[in-house]
């Protein structure tokens, strides 16, 4: 499968890295010579230093043989025009464009497959939806949820629970006494798929799989009970902030406030949402925390364009007494750091975009894809139909590749955390977690 990626920024680079590890035939088009040289030196793929709007450069990249054309430059217009050129000049089955301007997305021409674009990815929309899901789940931790199975994956930083250090996974399950599965452990920069006798270290981040009601019981038992987040303050009135505010207003029964430094934006928000407290202020002014009693809020959502400000303000608000904090993080290197610093959930538009694009690249019966551990691992959702190699066979007989695990199954609306004796049936939806090196093998097992 040949995949051409246009734009070698953070999103393009991550997508290319994911697909190269899966042995896909990846070509990157990047117009900036310095960035093209960097990609050429760091990724095992063919790099064309050129323009996606130049037919000759597209031909040099192998567009005639491509199955996917993915445009993720910083320019919406370049992404759209590039897809239009490919659509008119070449027979490429799948064309994906990242478009950030909501005016384009809301327009009628986009809904009618404008310029031959098959799928549009909007980072702001993806991030806003992830923030809303996190709020609805109590903002207790980062959250991975799925389309077809009612289980979640959440991360718990063991630094906040020293009583579990030195204990095994088996001990953890015995003490908490609920139906859950430890899917993975992040130990510094190492990914571990654990066994029952794996010992928990104080600095570990443990990824747990369970139903949402089970998670509420788990957090109660470890002393971090879910609260009703009724009083919420948003900092940042940009695209993501207003999208989140819109959803929260729609859900009702909340006391909402928003802080924005731009007066004109504040005026527009105030006119649209008369029941929302709109504050024209700069969160960098320390007095605003005291004047507006930010410590009295259940949740602060930091969504400015300054990620360092988001992280520091979220930490400061929690120190003052705000119960929960969500922070928007642009640089993926800050995601892990945010969790270590005590922020309850860090949301990355770039990671959301990468996950969405990977989902559309996947073939066969893959429903959902999530990249975790800085791209070192992936969670996939498979629908089982009539695969003879799987039906009526216990899970322990399936030859799973290294660092891979079946972490959940949905059958007839019932969610199951399986053991080795559980047998797969037609119609099951299966969740797996696997290291990047084993993704091809996992897809062969569940797509055969």
Over residues 59-107, the pLDDT tens digits come to: 999 999 999 999 999 999 999 999 999 999 999 999 999 998 766 655 5
3-state SS, residue 99: coil
User: What are the residue ranges spanned by the domains of the chain?
Assistant: 2-121, 127-135+227-351, 153-221
- Beta strand pairing status for 231-235 and 299-302? parallel
Using DSSP, state whether 161 is helix, strand or coil: coil
Q: Where do we find the tokens 């599965």?
A: 181
The pairing of strands 181-187 and 205-210 is: antiparallel
- Helix, strand, coil shares of the chain, percent, nearest 5, are 40, 25, 35
Q: Which fold has domain 127-135+227-351?
A: Rossmann fold (3.40.50)
Q: Tell me the backbone φ, ψ of residue 155, rounded to 5 degrees.
A: -105, 140
SS3 label, residue 288: helix
Q: How far apart are CA 95 and CA 87, in angstroms?
A: 8
Are 2-121 and 127-135+227-351 in the same CATH fold? yes
Closest among 426, 420, 416 to 390, alpha carbons compared: 426
DSSP-derived secondary structure letter, 168? B
* Cα angle for residues 127, 133, 134 (degrees, 5° grid): 90
- Chain segment 218-228, per-residue pLDDT in tens: 888 777 777 78
Task: Report pLDDT for 154.
Answer: 87
- Note whether 346 and 237 are within 8 A (CB): no
Distance (Å, rounded) from C-alpha 256 to C-alpha 278?
9
Q: Can you tell me the distance from the alpha carbon of 24 to that of 241, in angstroms, rounded to the nearest whole number? A: 37
- At residue 159 the predicted structure's pLDDT band, cuts being 50, 70 and 90, is confident
95-114 exposure pattern, b = at least 16 Cβ within 10 A, e = fewer: bbbbbbeeebeeeeebeeeb
Chosen CATH of 153-221 out of 3.30.70.1450, 3.90.950.20, 2.40.30.60, 1.10.260.40: 3.30.70.1450
Q: What is the CATH number of domain 2-121?
A: 3.40.50.720
pTM, 2 dp: 0.78
pLDDT in tens, 241-280: 999 999 999 988 899 999 999 999 999 999 999 999 999 9
How far apart CA 286 and CA 294 sit, in angstroms, is 11
């Amino acid at each position: 499968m040949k995949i051409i990626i246009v734009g070698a920024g953070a999103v393009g680079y991550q997508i290319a890295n994911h697909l190269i590890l899966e042995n896909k035939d990846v070509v990157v088009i990047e117009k900036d010579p310095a960035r093209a040289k960097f990609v050429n030196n760091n990724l095992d793929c063919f790099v064309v230093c050129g323009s996606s709007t130049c037919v000759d450069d597209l031909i040099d990249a192998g567009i005639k043989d491509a199955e996917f054309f993915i445009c993720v430059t910083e320019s919406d217009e370049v992404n759209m025009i590039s897809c239009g050129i490919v659509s008119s000049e070449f027979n490429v089955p799948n064309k994906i464009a990242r478009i950030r301007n909501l005016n384009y997305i809301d327009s009628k021409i986009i809904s009618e497959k404008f310029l031959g674009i098959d799928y549009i990815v909007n980072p702001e929309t993806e991030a806003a939806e992830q923030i809303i899901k996190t709020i609805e789940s109590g903002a207790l931790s980062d959250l991975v949820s799925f389309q077809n199975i009612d289980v979640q994956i959440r991360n718990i930083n063991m630094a906040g629970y020293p009583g579990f250090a030195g204990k095994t996974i088996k001990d953890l399950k015995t003490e908490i006494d609920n139906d859950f599965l430890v899917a993975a452990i992040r130990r510094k920069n190492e990914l571990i798929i654990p066994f029952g006798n794996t010992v928990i270290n104080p600095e570990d981040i443990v990824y747990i799989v369970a139903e949402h009601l089970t998670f509420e019981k788990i957090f109660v038992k470890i002393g971090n009970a879910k609260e009703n987040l009724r009083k919420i303050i948003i900092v940042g009135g940009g695209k993501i902030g207003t999208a989140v505010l819109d959803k929260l207003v729609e859900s009702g029964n909340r006391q909402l406030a928003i802080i924005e430094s731009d007066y004109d934006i504040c005026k527009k928000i105030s006119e649209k949402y008369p029941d929302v407290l709109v504050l024209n202020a700069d969160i960098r002014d320390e007095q605003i925390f005291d004047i507006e009693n930010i410590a009295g809020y259940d949740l602060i959502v930091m969504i400015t364009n300054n990620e360092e400000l988001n992280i520091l303000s979220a930490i400061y608000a929690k120190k003052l007494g705000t119960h929960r904090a969500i922070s928007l993080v642009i640089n993926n290197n800050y995601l892990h750091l945010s969790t270590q610093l005590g922020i309850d959930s860090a949301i990355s538009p770039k990671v959301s975009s990468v996950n969405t694009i990977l989902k559309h690249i996947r073939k066969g019966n893959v429903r959902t894809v999530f990249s975790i551990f800085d791209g070192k691992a992936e969670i996939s959702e498979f629908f089982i139909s009539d695969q003879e190699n799987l039906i009526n066979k216990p899970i322990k007989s399936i030859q799973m590749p290294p660092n891979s695990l079946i972490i959940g199954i949905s059958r007839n609306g019932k969610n199951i955390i399986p053991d080795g004796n559980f047998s797969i049936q037609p119609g099951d939806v299966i969740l797996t977690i696997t290291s990047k090196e084993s993704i091809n093998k996992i897809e062969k097992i569940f797509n055969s």
